[in-house]
Each structure stands twice: as structure tokens, then as C-alpha cells.
Amino acid sequence: MVGRALRGAAIASALLLSACGGGQSGAAPVAAAGAGFPVELENCQGSRVSFDSAPSKIVTSNASSLEMLFWLGAQDRVLGTGFPPAAGTMPERFAQAAAKIPVLGAKVIAKEKLLGSGADLYVDTFSSMGMMGGAAGVAPTEEEFASVGIKHVFLQSTACPAKSGGAVTDLSAVQDDIRRLGAMTGSSAKADELVADMERKTGEVRDALAGVPQDQRPTYYFFDVGATPGQPVAACNQQVANAVITLGGARNVYADCAGGFKPVGWEDVVARNPDWIQLGVRNRGDAQANQAGFDEAVRFLKEFPATAGLKAVREDKFLRIPSERTTIASVRNADTVREIAATLYPDLVKAG
């Protein structure tokens, strides 16, 4: 019997992901003008945004940009967020403080509330044509942001089309976002440290797998457990997951699909017959609840006639890795790369 949680979720929750993821990090001091400023940075579609000093009142659109600010030590400047992180989704070291961040919107932040928030910076994970306008009515225009003194910047790894127009196969866009937020907040040294650690982790995996030919690497399906089983979803080649899967030494079965996420049919998944399946359970708040979600996903795949014969299902080749660490731009993407590689190649890569 398929679990109710699997059957009840709507496909919209999966599509939302496409619009949309060291040591102790203390609060970073607000940098004064002159401390690396002024800074001018590229935004989406080639536009530019400049800062004479670090912002002191920041609003984030969701947990992805919020988590980045915590890693940078700039969390004390956050006025509020939309799409607040669910229990268990933030790194444990940040969870208590993140839970105290004011929630300006359970999902997207209403236009009037955002413009009246008093923020001097809005960090937007979503595309300008994407989820915000569709879910909240009308998103603020750039002129409206400017009229109330809010600088509007996007996370390029999730909101902007890939500059190459092709597949995203590395974490450079995520790392660029970390560096850009570091420059904006006067936390460039911390950003460089975070990026260097990500590059070290992914570089170790790359070197360990250097002798494995690309065409001999196993095929891999990211099963978005939040989606209804009657409508599976493909993580396409411009989604962060494609980079994580590729760097982990696998071949995304939907690497030929351009874009972020899109609905597909089970017959198509069956035709691609992946060697491995990641059970992309959305974090449910604690390890026990997550494990129940993974177990429920396995039962569905084994009992659903269309998937019971898949190679990965017959051979129990499942990866139990929460969805957010794979699909949302994050410092932790590099840890997921290593976890995938250690599972697929235990003789070459050790678990971190």
C-alpha cells in the first residue's frame, strides 16, 4: 500500500524546487564604507547592482539564501524571510538561531510586506519570471524596490539561466553566489574559506574517480519523494542536482532534459532504467521521521507495478539523502557529492 504522504503531495511542490539546496560561524560585523567597498556585482540578465557599504537589514526569499548568510556569519542582519526552513533542514549549528528569524511569509512574501519591511537588501532565490509573481500576485518591480531603498539581488545558481545555456555540471554558480554574498556583506574572507573547502571536497572526489570512464559511470535517478507517484519529476540538466550527481560520479538519467524540474511519466523513467535511485525525501524534522520517509519511498517503488522491475529497485540500490542538500544551492552540496561518490564507489571514496 502506497503511503498517504507519497500519494497526497502535489506536483507543484516539486516544481517549486526548480524556482527555488566548517567551523562555528560567528556574526560578521557590519563592514563600513571603505572596507572592501564600493562593490559592483552582476545580477541576472547582465544587470549590475552596487553597494557603497554592507547592508544591515536583509530579507531573504527562502531558506537557501538564509542558510548562505548563516554560513557567512551575517545572520544578525536578517530582518526576516519567506519560505522559512522546516524543522531539521538547516545545519544543526544554525537551527536554533534560524528558528528565531521572523517569518514574513509562510511561502512567498507579499509585495506590500516586502516593500514595507525596512530592508536595504532582498536576496531572491527565485527567477524574476518565476514563483514569486505566480504565488503572491504581483512581484515588486525594480523601480518599486528602488523607491523604498531595497537593493534586489538574485542567487544566480537558481534564479538566472546558466550563462553557457547548457548543462550545469559543477558547483561554480553556487560558489559564485557565496562569493557574491560575501562581497555584499563584507564577508569575503569567510566566503573564500567556504568555497575553498567545497573545492577541496569535490576535488578529492574528482581525483579519486579520475580513472573511471564517463561512459562506465552508473546511471542515476533523483526520485523527488515530495511529488505524487502518479506524476514523477525529472531533475533536468540546469538544476543544482545535475551538478551534484555528475560530480558524485554518476550520470543523471535526465541530463538530456534542459532546464530545472519538469514532470515526466513513469514509463519514461522505466525506459531509462537507472542503476541507482536517490530517495529525495523532503526533511521531516528529525532522523526518525526522515527514515520513515525513506522506507515509505522504498515500499512504493517495490510495490508499484511500473517501478518494481527497475534494476535499482530489484538490487536495492537506493541512496537515502534528503532532497534539500541535493536540489537547493548550499555549502552542503559538496558534502552530498562526497556521499554519493562514497556510496557508488566505496573502494575509491571514503565517507566524509
Q: Are residues 144 and 47 in the same domain?
A: yes
- Is residue 111 in some structural domain? yes
Helices (H), the chain: 4-8, 11-19, 63-71, 92-98, 111-115, 131-136, 142-147, 156-159, 172-185, 188-208, 240-247, 266-272, 287-303, 311-314, 324-327, 333-344
Could you count the other beta carbons within 10 Å of the beta carbon of residue 208? 18
CATH label of the domain that carries residue 249: 3.40.50.1980
Q: What's the first-to-final CA gap in the chain, in angstroms?
A: 36
Q: Residue 233: which of 200, 198, 257, 206 has the closest Cα? A: 257
Q: What is the pTM of this model?
A: 0.86
- Is residue 67 in some structural domain? yes
Q: Which of 163, 198, 233 is the last residue of a domain?
A: 198
- Is residue 203 in some structural domain? no
Q: Are residues 221 and 156 in the same domain?
A: no
Q: Which domain holds residue 170?
A: 23-198
Helix (H/G/I), strand (E/B), else coil: 14: helix
Report in angstroms the alpha-carbon separations of 315 from 147, 275, 319. Answer: 59, 9, 12
Question: Are the C-beta atoms of 47 and 152 separated by less than 8 Å?
Answer: no
pLDDT one digit per residue (tens) for the chain, 352 residues? 444 344 333 333 333 333 333 333 333 444 444 468 999 998 887 789 999 999 999 999 999 999 999 999 999 999 999 999 888 889 989 999 999 999 999 999 999 999 999 999 999 988 654 444 334 447 899 999 999 999 999 998 888 766 656 899 999 999 999 999 999 999 999 999 999 999 999 999 999 999 999 999 999 999 998 756 567 999 999 999 999 999 999 999 999 999 889 999 999 999 999 999 999 988 887 888 889 999 999 999 999 999 999 999 999 999 999 888 999 899 999 999 999 999 999 999 998 7
- Is residue 31 in some structural domain? yes
- Is residue 206 in some structural domain? no
| Beta bridge partner(s), residue 103 | 81
- Is residue 349 in some structural domain? no
